[in-house]
Structure 1
Amino acid sequence: MGNDGNASLEAIFELENADRLPRSVVAMFDTLFNTHIRDPLQNRGTGKDEENKEQTTRAAIALHAIRHLARWIAKKGMKSVPFRELKETLLEEDAVCGHGFRNTFDTVRQLQGNDGNEEDAEINLLDYIIGTAVGLLTMERGAFPEETALSFFHTDFGLYAAEHYSPFLASGKCC
C-alpha cells in the first residue's frame, strides 16, 4: 500500500494471484498427489522388491510428466503438451535420474499383442503414462497419435502444479 492508503496496482495484482485456489481444493490435491506419487517415492524401501520397483517407477513417471506439463503451461501458456514431446522429455530425464523409463516404455509398448502396429504401441504407452498419474492427467486425442496431447484433468490442478502449491512437486528433486 502506498502512503495515501490506496493499494498500488502491483499490490492488488499480487493479492489476486497469491492464493487462487481455495484451501480445501489444495488439501484435496495434496492428499491425492502425496498418496499416489510423493509417498511411494519417499518410502521406496518398503514392500516386496518387484512390487515396490513397479510402484516407484510409476510414481516417478507421473512426477516427471506432471512437472513437465506444469513447466510447459508456465513457459508457453499452452494447456496441453504433445505426447511425443512428453515422451522425449521423460526419456531425457530418465537418462539423468535412472529410473528405467526406457525399459518400462519398451515393455508397455509390447503389451496387448500389437503385432507390430506402431500406433497401437504408442497408444498403449500413452494410456500407461496417464494411468501412472492416477487421474491427474488426461488425453486430448488427435486424428493421429502424433497429434495426441496430454493435459491436466482440471485447470485447477494445472494451477496447483504450475504455481507450486506442493513443495515436493516444486522442489525439482527427482525423488
Structure 2
Amino acid sequence: MTDTLLDNVPRVTGRHHNRALAQARRAKAVELRMAGKTYQQIADLLGYANKGTVHRILTNALTEHEVDSIDELRFLEAQRLDAVQAAYWDQAMKGDYKAARIVLRIMDQRARLLGLYPAPNKRSNTQAAQEPITVYDFDDNGHLIPVDPHNDADE
C-alpha cells in the first residue's frame, strides 16, 4: 500500500465524537478493503468493535458514495466477482447445477453491488416494489425456483 496521510490514522477503542477522525477511519477501511484485507483484519487494524461493524461501514460508504475511492472499490469488487464467475461458468453451462447456483449467486451479488435492484420501500415492509424483479436459484434437486433477492440467508 502506498504511504498516505491515512496511514497515520490512530486505532480507536470505544466510541468517539471526532467526525474528522471517523471519516478518516472510514476512508482507511475502504483503502484496506481494496488492498484485499478481510473485514476482521480491518476491524483489528483500525480498532472497530468487530467485523460486522466494518461491513456496515463499508456498505454505508458504498451506498452513500461517502469516500472518493468508492467507485474504485466497486470496480475492484466487480472484477473479483467476474473472476470467480469465469471459474464456474463452463461447468454451469454444461449442466452442473451446483456451479450454476454459484454463478447465479455471483450475478445476484453483482446486481446488488451495482445497485440494479430497486431499493426496498422503507415506509412499509408489506408494500411491493413498483416493478418486482424475479431472481431464480436452484433447489437441491436441480430445479429452478424463484427466490427473494433481498434475502441473503444461506440454505
Instruction: Give yes or no for TM over 0.5.
Output: no
The structure with the largest helix share of the pair is 1
TM-score (norm 2): 0.32
TM-score (norm 1): 0.29
